[in-house]
Amino acid sequence: MDHNEQHDSEHVPTKRKEMSRRQFLTYTLGGAGAFMAGGVILPMVRFAVDPILQKKEASGFIKVIEESKITSEPMRVEFQIHQVDGWYESDPKLAAWISKGDDGQVFALSPICKHLGCVVSWGGESPDEYHCPCHGAKYTKDGKTLKVAPKSLDEYQVQLDNGWVYLGPIVANTRVK
Ligand code: FES
């Protein structure tokens, strides 16, 4: 064996991994397809979850009546709120029975009966009590349940500012134990 032959036999050509035409097309089309699908799907996902991503507005208080008009006799006051629920915006009308307690504090009761959700009224057939026309529930001026309803009337959170009464979110009654 001469020198050249020995050299040739030692020289093993390194294998180059070449991509076949089929693989190249598969990768290229797959990548382009994934890119286009992402362009379509991501905005849809974003659109679907957008209300969840939105920061909730701080629950606002609504100016409803001058404080000077509030006495110890409950007064029905109607007001409107703006509410956003996901994609749905609405301006429902709400009502409250507002009065001053024996402690002189202004408070506001929700008129929604805690039995099955009818609307209660003050006075009338039961002076000095709230009554519900549906099944006869009765409540004290502080909203304490006297009969039929399992719970006392809810309360609005109240703020007083510059001679005005502002009502906020509805909470469980804090005046009765
Ligand atoms: S809903 Fe008021 S008593 Fe039933």
Q: pLDDT tens, 32-67?
A: 777 777 677 666 665 565 555 544 444 589 999 999
Amino acid at 138: K
Q: Determine the atom of ligand 1 nearest the C-alpha atom of 136.
A: 3
Of 22-26, 87-91, 163-167, which has the strongest mean pLDDT?
163-167
Asked whether 148 lines ligand 1 (CB < 6 A), one says yes
What is the SS3 assignment for 7? helix
Asked whether 118 lines ligand 1 (CB < 6 A), one says yes
Asked whether 115 lines ligand 1 (CB < 6 A), one says yes
Mean pLDDT of the chain, nearest integer: 84
| Distance in Å, CA 166 to ligand 1 centroid | 28
Q: Determine the atom of ligand 1 nearest the C-alpha atom of 137.
A: 3
Looking at residue 56, its pLDDT comes to 45
pTM: 0.68
Looking at residue 10, its pLDDT comes to 55
| Distance in Å, CA 121 to ligand 1 centroid | 12
Asked whether 153 lines ligand 1 (CB < 6 A), one says no
Q: What is the C-alpha end-to-end distance of the chain, expressed in Å?
A: 111
Q: Determine the atom of ligand 1 nearest the C-alpha atom of 113.
A: 2
Question: Which whole-number Å values give the CA distances from 140 to 89, 146, 152, in the listed order?
Answer: 35, 7, 9
Asked whether 137 lines ligand 1 (CB < 6 A), one says yes
Q: pLDDT tens, 87-106?
A: 889 999 999 999 999 999 99
Q: Of 173 and 8, which is predicted with more confidence?
A: 173
Asked whether 147 lines ligand 1 (CB < 6 A), one says no
CB 107 within 8 A of CB 99: yes
